[in-house]
Amino acid sequence: MSFIVKEKLIISMLVIVSIFLSLSYLIVNISDPTDNGLVSNEKLNIEQSFIIDKTKSLTVSQAYRSAMQLTTQEHIPWSFADQVYWLKIALQNNTKHPYQLMIHFDNPMVDNLTVYEFENAQLYKQEKLGWQETRLDLIERTILQYPLNIKPKHMSELLIKIETTGIAKTPVIIYQDHDFVQLIRSSHLIWGALIGILCMIALYNLVLFYSIKDRVYLIYIGYLISILALLSVIQGFGHYLFPHPLFKILRVNVISLNFLTLAFALLFTMFFLNFNINKEKIYKTCLYYSYLLFCLAALVTFIPESNSAPIFFVAMGGAYFLCFWLLYIRYNTSHFWSTLYFASWLPLLVGGAIQPLELTGVIPYSFLVRNLFTLCIIFEITLMAMALAERIRYQKELTIFNATHDLETNLPNFQALEAYLLDLLNTEKKFTLCLINISGLNRLSPYFNDSQTQSTLDLFIQNAKQYTNHCPNFARLNNLQNDFAKKDAKIARVRENVFAIIIKHKQNHQQVIEKLEPLYNSINDVFNINKINSYFKINISYYIVKEDHNKVSNILKKAFQALETGTRDDIAINGYENHKHNSLTLVEELKTALLNNELMLFHQPQITLENGQVHGSEGLLRWNHKQHGFIPIEGLISLAEDTGLINQISLWVITQACKDIRTLINLGYENHEVSVNISGLDIVNKEFLNDLKEILTTYPIPKHRLNLELTESVMINDYTYLQSVMQGLAQLGIRVSIDDYGTGYSSLAHISQLPFNELKIDKIFIQNIAKSDRNQKIVQTTINMAKILNLRIVAEGIETLEEEQVLHDFNCDFVQGYRYAKPQPMSDYIQWLSEYHH
């Protein structure tokens, strides 16, 4: 059991126990009404005697006479046998004042109780008491009582006949008239509390059932109702709740009520502890057992109480055994709510144990003992309601936690980081997002097994945690109040091998590097010590967010761009700003490059998996800079996007693609398709469709040879506009792919409404797919659902035979990757095509 659970449990147990004890103390010491019962003294002499008539044949006068001869004895041997008890009480008033007394017979379960009052050995008055006597008022029927008036210096004799099949024990307490009021008050207080709490909790659970639709709440209500009915019979207060005919039925079927309560308790235990979810073996046993209990509840209505009671006790043993077994199983996986539920059984057991002890005379009779069971039920029900509430909270928190955390490492995931960034943008505004990439994990996966890769990751996480925890500049990435979330999480896992941390407050490059360098070194050191330094490489990127930035996607994109170029160019710590240093000159140069036709469109083939034939290619932009050589393309694209050059570039790319398609057709590759990437900024450009039409009239190509790839992050923007553009494209006969599927935010529901033709699974899911169950699952479900939506599927980034094999097994349509060819200039590509044999 975790420390938190233990602590919580101890606190709540202490609270409950102390409430329980103080309530009991109150009743015993201040308001126990049985304390006011009169005992024999000089003023009022009380003598009691009894006789048990096993044959039930004595008449009143016979009983009167026999009882007269008996000696006074305190303990009457009450039993469950079918017999008649005659009690005799003689009261001698030695004072000069009259005594106004009230005799209380504390057994609401009794069937027949008749009081015979004698004066001077003559029967003077006789009265039948009990719940059946409808002429009596509610209180009199609930609390059996007989008023007695003894004149000064006078003696009254009472003969009481008790005849019942159930519990016979009937303590007789003699009160002064005014003291009796106290008893009535205390009893009503307890019953009122019981009824109030039960009804309130039942209503509350009904509301819960309507909103959460979990059957456990209905079962709980069933339990509450049956226990209320049961107690109303045992305690006698049913007159307040039910009309007389109904109460009559309940009373004669008290054992049925016991069975019902038991059945609901067992069902509740099962559903509450979630045994219905996985349908474990014990679930069936318990389910059938509770069905049996329901059947018995119906059956025992035909059997007399004295016979059905033993059946019940046997059945109860079985049900308790099953309940404890269920609890035992769950206790090992202990959540706080299951422990609370476990605790709710304790008062019930205490109450359940004390009741028989009182009935058998082991514990002396008192008002508290008499009502202990009811008190215990109140506590049990309250604890159960607490457990139910705790269970909702737990499940809600678990769902939130799972949605926002990486399940392998329990670190916050991409979604959590996004949410956190959004928060930061609204509050702090100035901060630095850093990304850490471990490369080499995938490349080595054929030689490493999963546990080695995992332990390398663990090593890294442990080390990074240690460093970040000691440095107050790193932000805690958890702002949600959740039991599961580690309060100290300062690292998020945003992709399989990419982790994120955030440096708070305004920083310049120097300051950021000062903080990241020790982190970089310490991780490298650990890898050195463990002699794995030659396999893995760490790259850190950062992006300093200034006030004017207000889009989470932008921030992430820039940090990722810096990470990619940093990894490619082997820069240990690469800030986004760095490669933008000469951005202004670069933009100018790009403009001239565009005009002078210095840009190139490389082609990378896409292969039909089924037959190995070339299906088409993806055209990828390249710029061979006179001084710097090939410029990293992603940085270039975002630069073009930032400076408004992107539309022109895209039109150039599309034009070039059309020209290349024509060339390919002329060479005999009539069905060869070419896909090109377009930016989200192209889609929102109102001229885009017209420009496209113009290109297609200047460079006509057969329908469906040109494909546009659109990254999914574009789709979250203006949906209706996107829809109209897509319709326009469809009319032109151009196919559209969803690019980089899985890396953005789009929901499938969203995508499925737009006329896409193809879905491209991003390479981050393909790399390592042969080893990673997680990636396999993602890819397989993506493919399955794409098939349902009638989309063609292209997987990119295939480098090995194993990866190809997995995608083949998953029924992927097309593949693209270094395994077949790297992107190459058109002339090389034509050469490659002519040499390609499959």
Q: Which is nearer to ligand C2E, 330 or 792 (CB)?
A: 792
CA distances 78 to 360, 667, 698, 754, Å, are 8, 110, 110, 82
Q: Please answer whether residues 732 and 693 qualify as being in contact, where contact means their C-beta atoms are separated by less than 8 angstroms.
A: yes
Give the position of tokens 């941390």: 501
- If you count DSSP H runs as helices and E runs as strands, how many of each does the chain have, helices first? 27, 22
Element housing 828 (H / E): helix 826-835
Shortest distance in whole angstroms from residue 650 CB to ligand C2E:
6
Shortest distance in whole angstroms from residue 678 CB to ligand C2E:
6
Shortest distance in whole angstroms from residue 666 CB to ligand C2E:
23
Crossing angle (nearest 10°) for helices 336-359 and 305-332: 150
Residues in contact with ligand C2E, counted by CB under 6 A, come to a total of: 24
Length of the chain: 838
Distance of CA 517 to the CA centre of its chain: 41
Give the position of tokens 């955030």: 502
Tokens of 47: 């003598």
* Per CB under 6 A, 678 contacts ligand C2E: yes
Cα separation, 191 vs 184, in Å, equals 11
CA dihedral 67, 71, 74, 75 (to 10 degrees): -70
Selected from 679, 685, 707, 824, the binder of ligand C2E by CB under 6 A is 679
Q: Which is nearer to ligand C2E, 370 or 763 (CB)?
A: 763
Shortest distance in whole angstroms from residue 712 CB to ligand C2E:
12
Selected from 346, 633, 665, 785, the binder of ligand C2E by CB under 6 A is 633
Tokens of 160: 């009481």
Q: Pick from 371, 493, 389, 481: which is nearest to 441 by CA?
A: 493
Selected from 214, 496, 682, 709, the binder of Ca ion by CB under 5 A is 709
Q: Pick from 305, 288, 386: which is nearest to 81 by CA?
A: 305
Q: Which does 305 bind (CB under 5 to 8 A by kind): ligand C2E, Ca ion, none?
A: none
Q: Which does 436 bind (CB under 5 to 8 A by kind): Ca ion, ligand C2E, none?
A: none
Q: Which does 637 bind (CB under 5 to 8 A by kind): Ca ion, ligand C2E, none?
A: ligand C2E
Selected from 205, 677, 767, 772, the binder of Ca ion by CB under 5 A is 677
Shortest distance in whole angstroms from residue 493 CB to ligand C2E:
21
**Which residues within the stretch 603-632 sit at the binding site for ligand C2E (CB under 6 A)?**
604, 620-621
Using left for φ > 0, alpha for ψ between -120 and 50, and beta otherwise, residue 439 falls in beta
Q: Please answer whether residues 219 and 264 qualify as being in contact, where contact means their C-beta atoms are separated by less than 8 angstroms.
A: yes
Selected from 384, 637, 722, 812, the binder of ligand C2E by CB under 6 A is 637
* Per CB under 6 A, 140 contacts ligand C2E: no
Cα separation, 783 vs 813, in Å, equals 9
Selected from 117, 140, 598, 634, the binder of ligand C2E by CB under 6 A is 634
DSSP 474: B
Q: Which is nearer to ligand C2E, 202 or 593 (CB)?
A: 593
Beta carbons within 8 Å of 67's beta carbon, 6+ residues apart: 49, 50, 51, 86, 87, 88, 159
**Which residues within the stretch 236-275 sit at the binding site for ligand C2E (CB under 6 A)?**
none
Alpha helices in 431-547 (DSSP H): 450-469, 509-529
* Per CB under 5 A, 232 contacts Ca ion: no
Q: Which is nearer to ligand C2E, 87 or 761 (CB)?
A: 761
* Per CB under 5 A, 740 contacts Ca ion: yes
Q: Please answer whether residues 98 and 155 qualify as being in contact, where contact means their C-beta atoms are separated by less than 8 angstroms.
A: no
Tokens of 648: 């022109």
Q: Which does 634 bind (CB under 5 to 8 A by kind): ligand C2E, Ca ion, none?
A: ligand C2E
- With DSSP H G I counted as helix, E B as strand and the rest as coil, what are the percentages for the chain, rounded to 5? 55, 20, 25
Q: Which does 818 bind (CB under 5 to 8 A by kind): ligand C2E, Ca ion, none?
A: ligand C2E
Shortest distance in whole angstroms from residue 637 CB to ligand C2E:
5
Pairing of strands 537-545, 431-439: antiparallel
Q: Which is nearer to ligand C2E, 228 or 621 (CB)?
A: 621
**Which residues within the stretch 691-730 sit at the binding site for ligand C2E (CB under 6 A)?**
709
Strand, helix or coil for residue 213: coil
Q: Which is nearer to Ca ion, 157 or 740 (CB)?
A: 740
Selected from 739, 758, 804, 813, the binder of Ca ion by CB under 5 A is 739
Alpha helices in 699-742 (DSSP H): 719-732
Shortest distance in whole angstroms from residue 558 CB to ligand C2E:
14
**Distance between terminal CA atoms of the chain?**
60
Q: Please answer whether residues 166 and 203 qualify as being in contact, where contact means their C-beta atoms are separated by less than 8 angstroms.
A: no
Q: Please answer whether residues 341 and 273 qualify as being in contact, where contact means their C-beta atoms are separated by less than 8 angstroms.
A: yes
Shortest distance in whole angstroms from residue 677 CB to Ca ion:
5
Shortest distance in whole angstroms from residue 758 CB to Ca ion:
11
Shortest distance in whole angstroms from residue 9 CB to ligand C2E:
52
Instruction: Indicate the residue type of 619.
Output: G
Cα separation, 517 vs 53, in Å, equals 98
Tokens of 600: 């190139």
Q: Which is nearer to Ca ion, 682 or 739 (CB)?
A: 739
Shortest distance in whole angstroms from residue 712 CB to Ca ion:
10
Shortest distance in whole angstroms from residue 623 CB to ligand C2E:
10
Of the ranges 509-517, 709-717, 722-730, 767-775, which one interacts with Ca ion (CB under 5 A)?
709-717
Q: Please answer whether residues 424 and 544 qualify as being in contact, where contact means their C-beta atoms are separated by less than 8 angstroms.
A: no
Selected from 291, 328, 630, 818, the binder of ligand C2E by CB under 6 A is 818
Q: In what order do the strands lie in the sheet with 172-176?
A: 144-150, 99-105, 172-176
* Per CB under 5 A, 638 contacts Ca ion: no
Q: Which is nearer to ligand C2E, 235 or 677 (CB)?
A: 677
Shortest distance in whole angstroms from residue 636 CB to ligand C2E:
8
Q: Pick from 579, 534, 570, 554: which is nearest to 437 by CA?
A: 570
**Which residues within the stretch 743-802 sit at the binding site for ligand C2E (CB under 6 A)?**
763, 796-799
Q: Which is nearer to ligand C2E, 575 or 823 (CB)?
A: 823
Shortest distance in whole angstroms from residue 634 CB to ligand C2E:
5
Beta carbons within 8 Å of 744's beta carbon, 6+ residues apart: 711, 712, 713, 715, 716
Shortest distance in whole angstroms from residue 823 CB to ligand C2E:
5
Shortest distance in whole angstroms from residue 763 CB to ligand C2E:
5
Selected from 380, 496, 739, 813, the binder of ligand C2E by CB under 6 A is 739
Shortest distance in whole angstroms from residue 816 CB to ligand C2E:
6
CA distances 505 to 182, 546, 758, Å, are 69, 10, 43
Q: Which is nearer to ligand C2E, 99 or 810 (CB)?
A: 810
Cα separation, 421 vs 431, in Å, equals 10
Residues in contact with Ca ion, counted by CB under 5 A, come to a total of: 5
Q: Which is nearer to ligand C2E, 238 or 619 (CB)?
A: 619
* Per CB under 6 A, 558 contacts ligand C2E: no
* Per CB under 6 A, 740 contacts ligand C2E: yes
* Per CB under 6 A, 653 contacts ligand C2E: yes
Residue 230 C-beta-side C-alpha neighbours within 13 Å? 20
* Per CB under 6 A, 828 contacts ligand C2E: no
Q: Please answer whether residues 83 and 77 qualify as being in contact, where contact means their C-beta atoms are separated by less than 8 angstroms.
A: no
Residues that bind Ca ion in the complex, under the rule CB under 5 A: 677, 709, 739-740, 762
What residue ranges bind ligand C2E (CB under 6 A)? Answer: 604, 620-621, 633-634, 637, 650, 653, 676-679, 709, 739-740, 763, 796-799, 816-818, 823
